[in-house]
Amino acid sequence: MTLTPDDPRAPVADVDLLVLGGIVVTTDARRTILNEGALAVRDGQITAVGPRADVAGRYRAPRVIEARGGLLLPGLIDGHTHLPMTLFRGLADDLPLRAWLEEHIWPAEQRTLNPDAARWGTRLAAAELIRSGVTTCCDMYFYEDDVAEAVEEAGLRAILSQGFIDGPDTEQRLASAELFLKRWQGHPRITPAVGPHAPYTVGPDSYRRLHALAERFDVPLVTHLAETKGEGHDVAARYGRTPVRHLAQLGVLDARLIAAHCVWVDAEEVGLLAASRAGVVHCPRSNLKLASGVAPVPDLLAAGARVGLGTDGAASNNELDLFAEVQMAALIHKGVRLDPLAVPAAAALEMATSGGARALKLDSRVGSLEVGKRADVVVLDLEEDNLVPLYDPVSHLAYAAASADVRTVLIDGRIVLEDRELRTLDEAEVRRQVRALSVAIGSRWGRAGP
Amino acid sequence: MTLTPDDPRAPVADVDLLVLGGIVVTTDARRTILNEGALAVRDGQITAVGPRADVAGRYRAPRVIEARGGLLLPGLIDGHTHLPMTLFRGLADDLPLRAWLEEHIWPAEQRTLNPDAARWGTRLAAAELIRSGVTTCCDMYFYEDDVAEAVEEAGLRAILSQGFIDGPDTEQRLASAELFLKRWQGHPRITPAVGPHAPYTVGPDSYRRLHALAERFDVPLVTHLAETKGEGHDVAARYGRTPVRHLAQLGVLDARLIAAHCVWVDAEEVGLLAASRAGVVHCPRSNLKLASGVAPVPDLLAAGARVGLGTDGAASNNELDLFAEVQMAALIHKGVRLDPLAVPAAAALEMATSGGARALKLDSRVGSLEVGKRADVVVLDLEEDNLVPLYDPVSHLAYAAASADVRTVLIDGRIVLEDRELRTLDEAEVRRQVRALSVAIGSRWGRAGP
């Protein structure tokens, strides 16, 4: 029989919150799935995961989320973002990468970015991410102190880095990168990092110095790597090596590295990335939209590389929807390789959860529903046409679920989305402010009249 | 100044319904977009499209849909479906095509299909399609009379065909195909068609006889064509020709043909398809999931072929979401061809609207918001995080919109979805019935207990 809190024989423990499922997809190492499961949460940490009847019987909480008939999964991890770039969503599309960046995005950034704009763009991104079940992101952008404050306000968990590009003010930027680490180190949800932009915008000396800084503060080093064929040519022309070998040569290719994209890597580089224990963040939709190519993710996974998934910024996607990335990661490699077994459903889901956490070096804290991990939890509504019937929950998460199916989200034990209501931000105000900014950026549609 | 219905000088006309936008993306031949537009609808037909103030001034209606701040677009056209296959959504994935079909899908169909199951599966599919803005589909399956009645009940517009496969009962099936045409000819929203399954399951004689039948009733001929590399080998081994050339040789490759997939077609066949004025239905997500490959859609479009978009059945996708197909069609070809200009946003949107209508030979009736067309209209909510800000509505439709953003849908002037409430079906009951059927089909998750 089941012991309930009312049963005098039950050793009932007090916790802060119970989440009663529903199917629980833990994404633990054994891929445990509970048919009727539940979680207990205390001090923002998962203190129990198990059959619903057991958890409901052993724990008592002032707050209970009833998710019977729903599906619980770990919060999703978006391994590559440029949060404020929601400001430029759809500003320019269908252009060659250089023209897109140099004629549209960079001028718009020059013209409009400031601390206030960065905050509003970040708030919009955070709202969109939370609504799609993302609880952790890994960001690189300008005005990152402002990004961090908006992230804190939204309640997200994040690795945040100041985007670093070499220039006449390199010394000042290095000092600023250090200040950023000092300011945010020790924050419970925000991990500061260093963020050299890419091998074609950051020289060897700055990479080495930022790496030394990352070692000193024991934080990650976030960078773009081997995104386009053109980058490969540029880096080879300058350094006589491919981008991955270039970073290896500089001593930067190690477990501290979080490298976005890795599209243009050969078989040997796949091995180098795996052996280094670097995180690789696959951004399939962005790579397609910018015509960068298709990363060799099946090979990276087979080699044991730590592969996560990312949306990239909203200017190159144009939605921040990690379910769409999971689906793309599950679909694209099958079709391109003519192999129906390339990146199965479970592998795609793991890139967004446990594998994504490993890629960001956060796997001791998040990425699965296990005792001792922080309580980053998504409750999915299964009372949706697109999720009926249900033969295999992992199949649904990889091929059928949409971000609109997300009902409730916890981050660090805190309810940030509840029955589709965002608790941390005033979304209507966020949309108003971003729309107002967009008029200055260049919207033809933000005003009345054509 | 604007003339309003209250203005005595205005020649006010009575209509049934006004839809007041909002941005109106017409997808007409000039790609007209109105910033503040509106539609008037009488007898299920669009009688006016124009600036909001003009339409509101010139027409009076007992029913007004207020969509200020929203976006109006033509109902989307899903050019390839197997509606009842929602029953098998997620039953089997990540398998080689043959094993998937022969060991899982076909046995499940054998075991469970009957008129009642076909109806419940169709109702679920219709609900899902309408919620994602689809107003027309082109279907091929078994029990198509039952499919048709469920489609009629849902209020969808459709081309429907009995799936035909050669066997010992070929004569009976041909007679049944003819009966189906007789029964449904003249229906205002349902166009019956013949549906030979594919060149590897239907012999030359049956293709010719079904084509003659289609000519006699002046209806389309729906088929699968050149979906997989294996099909190409099979057809070549049997007939000494590729699938497209085989149909050309049989006299079936003409303007009556609606051919799903066309993945494995060479440059000459691209020309044959274009010259024939056949409809080609691109199903990018299904082609990826089943590892069939990537259809040469940029070449087909450049050659002037009539290309639409399809979801395929829910067993090979696994969601019926045409926005996801539009996004995939806009993204995949860029990435695979390393060409950021391959299938721009407008081209992807047109495959789901005006181009899709041409592919299905329904372009005189649907596919754009123009005077004289039937009133198949989608109202999208722009008060969504993923659609803010708004620089270019066509960009949003191709890269950022989600089916959950669909607020209201008209088909033939009838409101079938209103403020996200489905008016034609009891969705909760549909989900209950499909769940009940899924237990017999083989669900591990439909019942309590693992």
**How many Cβ atoms from other residues are within 10 Å of residue B53's Cβ?**
16
Tell me the pLDDT tens digit for each residue of B342-374.
999 999 999 999 999 999 999 999 999 999 999
Cα separation, A298 vs A289, whole angstroms: 20
Tell me the pLDDT tens digit for each residue of B27-60.
999 999 999 999 999 999 999 999 999 999 999 9
Q: Please list, in sequence order, all residues whose beta carbon lies within 8 angstroms of the beta carbon of residue A355, skipping any fewer than 6 positions away.
A: A306, A307, A308, A347, A367
Q: CA–CA distance from B339 to each of A89, B298, B331, B336, B352 (Å)?
A: 20, 10, 10, 8, 21
What is the four-CA torsion angle of B421, B422, B426, B431, rounded to 10 degrees? -90
- Closest chain B residue to A122 measured between Cα atoms? B385
Contact A399 B317 (CB under 8 A): yes
Tell me the pLDDT tens digit for each residue of B207-216.
999 999 999 9
Q: How many helices (H) and strands (E) does chain A have?
A: 17, 19
Region B18-23: mean pLDDT is 97
Is the pLDDT reported for residue B5 higher than 60?
A: no
Please list every residue in chain A whose beta carbon sits closer than 8 Å to the beta carbon of residue B290: 334, 340
Contact B293 A435 (CB under 8 A): no
Cα separation, B286 vs B314, whole angstroms: 9
Contact B445 A390 (CB under 8 A): yes
Which residue type, as a one-letter code, is found at position A278? A
> Of B93, B327, B427, which has the smallest distance from its Cβ to A395's Cβ?
B93
Cα separation, B256 vs B253, whole angstroms: 8
Q: How far is B127 from chain A (nearest CA, A)?
A: 7
Q: How far is B252 from chain A (nearest CA, A)?
A: 29
Q: Which of A86, A112, A227, A385 to probe by mutation at the B interface, max B CB count within 10 Å?
A: A385
What is the reported pLDDT for B417? 98
Q: CA–CA distance from B136 to each of A180, B181, B224, B375 (Å)?
A: 54, 18, 19, 12
Q: Which of A54, A391, A392, A396 to probe by mutation at the B interface, max B CB count within 10 Å?
A: A391
pTM, 2 dp: 0.96
Please list every residue in chain B whose beta carbon sits closer than 8 Å to the beta carbon of residue A285: 331
Cα separation, A260 vs A81, whole angstroms: 10
Reduced 3-state DSSP string for B203-266? CHHHHHHHHHHHHHHCCCEEEEECCCHHHHHHHHHHHCCCHHHHHHHHCCCCCCEEEEECCCCC
Is the pLDDT reported for residue B382 higher than 70?
A: yes
> Of B36, B336, B442, which has the smallest distance from its Cβ to A391's Cβ?
B442
Question: For all residues of chain B together, what is the average pLDDT?
Answer: 95
Lookup: tokens for B400: 């950022």
The neighbouring-strand residues paired with A71 are A23, A380
Give the three-state DSSP class for A422: strand
Contact A445 B391 (CB under 8 A): yes
Tell me the pLDDT tens digit for each residue of B300-322.
999 999 999 999 999 999 999 99
Q: How far is B216 from chain A (nearest CA, A)?
A: 39
Q: How far is A437 from chain B (nearest CA, A)?
A: 9
Domains of chain B: 13-74+373-419 (2.30.40.10), 76-359 (3.20.20.140)
> Of A34, A334, A449, which has the smallest distance from its Cβ to B288's Cβ?
A334
What is the reported pLDDT for B446? 42
How many Å from the N-terminal Cα to the C-terminal Cα in chain B? 69
Tell me what ipTM this predicted complex has: 0.95
Rg for chain A, CA atoms, rounded:
22
What is the reported pLDDT for B97? 79
The neighbouring-strand residues paired with A63 are A17
Contact B291 A35 (CB under 8 A): no
> For chains A and B, what is the number of CB pairs under 8 angstroms?
258
Region B196-206: mean pLDDT is 97
What is the reported pLDDT for B449? 33
The answer to whether residues B37 and B24 touch, using CB atoms and an 8 Å cutoff, is: yes
Q: Please list, in sequence order, all residues whose beta carbon lies within 8 angstroms of the beta carbon of residue A413, skipping any fewer than 6 positions away.
A: A16, A17, A41, A42, A43, A44, A45, A374, A375
Contact B435 A338 (CB under 8 A): no
What is the reported pLDDT for A99? 87
What is the reported pLDDT for B330? 98
What is the reported pLDDT for B10? 62
Q: Which of A388, A421, A427 to probe by mutation at the B interface, max B CB count within 10 Å?
A: A388
What is the reported pLDDT for B38? 98
Reply yes or no: is the peptide bond before residue B192 cis, omega within 30 of 0.
no
Cα separation, A20 vs A283, whole angstroms: 33
Please list every residue in chain B whose beta carbon sits closer than 8 Å to the beta carbon of residue A317: 399-400
In which residue are the tokens 């010139």 written? B58
- Closest chain A residue to B437 measured between Cα atoms? A389
DSSP string, A14-73: E-SEEEEEEEEE---TT--EESSEEEEEETTEEEEEEEHHHHHHHEE-SEEEEEEEEEEE
Residues of chain A with pLDDT under 70: 1-10, 443-450
- Closest chain A residue to B450 measured between Cα atoms? A35
The answer to whether residues B16 and B62 touch, using CB atoms and an 8 Å cutoff, is: yes
Contact B35 A90 (CB under 8 A): no
Tell me the pLDDT tens digit for each residue of B220-254.
999 999 999 999 999 999 999 999 999 999 999 99
Contact A404 B400 (CB under 8 A): no
How many Å from the N-terminal Cα to the C-terminal Cα in chain A? 69
